[in-house]
Copies of this chain bind each other. A is one copy, B any other.
Amino acid sequence: MSKRSEVVILDCWASPFCMRVKLVLREKGVEYESREEDLFGGKSQLLLSSNPIHKKVPVLLHNKKPILESTNIVAYIDTVWPSPPLLPSSPYEAAQARFWADFIDKKVFEAGTNIWRSTGEAQEVAKKDFIEVLKQLEGSALGDKKFFAGEAFGFVDLLTIPLTNWFLAYEKIGDFKIEDYCPKLSDWIKRCNQRESVAKVLPDPEKVYEFVASIRKSQGIE
């Protein structure tokens, strides 16, 4: 692994956005130090001073300089450590990848959150919306391809797979199976999960489910 510079992540184990940063660093073979933040107990001074606008993880500190927002961090790392490349070199294909990254950032996690934060009729609506988002992703972006950009694991795969780490929680809380609606996307998830970097970075989805269930309980959503 490369040791060119100091790379620190202000991290939270359950955050799919933090998983993105750890995943891209593993893909690039870059050593990093993870500092777990206590998001409920109290954020560190370093987090508050590094990200005064959003006060959120992940923060990447590269030689002490903060880089913010996970998609932006992944693109930054792809520029600083270009091998293997994640964003396509063709400007048109890079723009396509960034379009889908933006779609995913705006839609997938929020649609999933609406499932576990709700109950009854509202949860049924949330499930329907969530499936709709996944179907758009499956139908218009993935299709019959192995990965989003074709044969190689790339930018959109890397940004999306951590979000799927929460899917088991949505399924157990919402009592449904994503595979029944999106078989191609489900196959893609299985393919990505076999990848060494993904297997090493993503936590056990059961542990994420327990984490989400405990938040639901503490907030009286049941």
Contact = CB atoms under 8 A, between A and B. Distances in A.
Nearest to A79: B91
A98 interface: yes
A102 B73 CA distance: 13
Interface string A44-79: 000000001100000000100101110011011001
Given A65-B92, A92-B67, A92-B76, A53 B102 contact: no
Nearest to A103: B53
A95 interface: yes
Q: How many copies of this protein are present in the complex? A: 2
Contact of A136 (B53, B98, B136): B53
A94 interface: yes
Contact of A98 (B72, B94, B95, B103): B72
Nearest to A52: B140
Interface residues of A, number: 23
Interface in A127-144: 136, 140
Nearest to A62: B92
A76 B65 CA distance: 26
Contact of A69 (B92, B94, B102): B102
A67 B95 contact: yes
Contacts of A92: 62, 65, 67, 76
A99 interface: yes
A98 B222 CA distance: 40
- 6 nearest A-B residue pairs (beta carbon): A79-B91, A76-B95, A67-B95, A72-B98, A68-B99, A80-B91
Given A68-B95, A72-B102, A80-B91, 5 more contacts: A52-B140, A62-B92, A65-B92, A76-B91, A76-B94
